[in-house]
Amino acid sequence: MNVADGKKIVTYSRDETFQFGFDLASGLKSRAIIALIGPLGAGKTTLAQGLGAGLGITEPITSPAFNYLLEYSGRMPFYHADLYRIENASQFLALGFDEYFDREGVFVIEWAERIADILPPETIQIYLRPLRDEDAREIIVCKGAPRIDD
């Protein structure tokens, strides 16, 4: 994983965020956990779609907001979760999703702040934030303990 801790970039279009995800895939080893943290419309699904494409997944990657978690197979397995409808870590655990932390492949979690207290320490956290310009998004990559203050 060649993402420096605290790396910060700004993207100016959907395609740039997709490309950011695509590029991220090349540096990932199996058993990577990626927490995507940011409000609705920040670009979490877009980044996850780029990441999936970078992992060689050719089928469409849709938002798992209604299914909680979707599985794909590419260069390695890809698991894409959306926890918007999950309130806390105990609901996540009740669904057995913590099992995916130990799976081979890449596990990407939208709304990961909902389970901040149980994210494994090796989780790569990616914070996305819309900026004043309608199509601009700030993206910050962090490793280590979650910094969740909202």
Q: How many residues bind ligand ADP (CB under 6 A)?
A: 18
Tell me the residue ranges of DSSP E strands in 66-136: 69-73, 77-82, 106-110, 124-130
Q: List, in order, residues 6 or more apart from 140 with CB less than 8 Å away.
A: 6, 7, 8, 126, 127, 129
Residue 125 within binding range of ligand ADP, rule CB under 6 A: no
Task: For the beta carbon of residue 98, count every other beta carbon within 10 angstroms.
Answer: 14
Closer of 30 and 62 to ligand ADP (Cβ)? 62
Q: Which of residues 51-80 bind Mg ion (CB under 5 A)?
A: 63
Residue 42 within binding range of ligand ADP, rule CB under 6 A: yes
Residue 129 within binding range of ligand ADP, rule CB under 6 A: no
Residue 114 within binding range of Mg ion, rule CB under 5 A: no
Q: List, in order, residues 6 or more apart from 113 with CB less than 8 Å away.
A: 35, 37, 146, 148, 150
Residue 86 within binding range of ligand ADP, rule CB under 6 A: no
Among residues 4, 9, 13, 120, the one that binds ligand ADP under rule CB under 6 A: 13
Of 32, 55, 1, 26, whose CA–CA distance to 102 is shortest? 32
**Binding partner selected for residue 40 from ligand ADP, Mg ion, none, CB under the kind-specific 5 to 8 Å limit:** ligand ADP
Q: Which residues bind Mg ion (CB under 5 A)?
A: 44-45, 63, 110
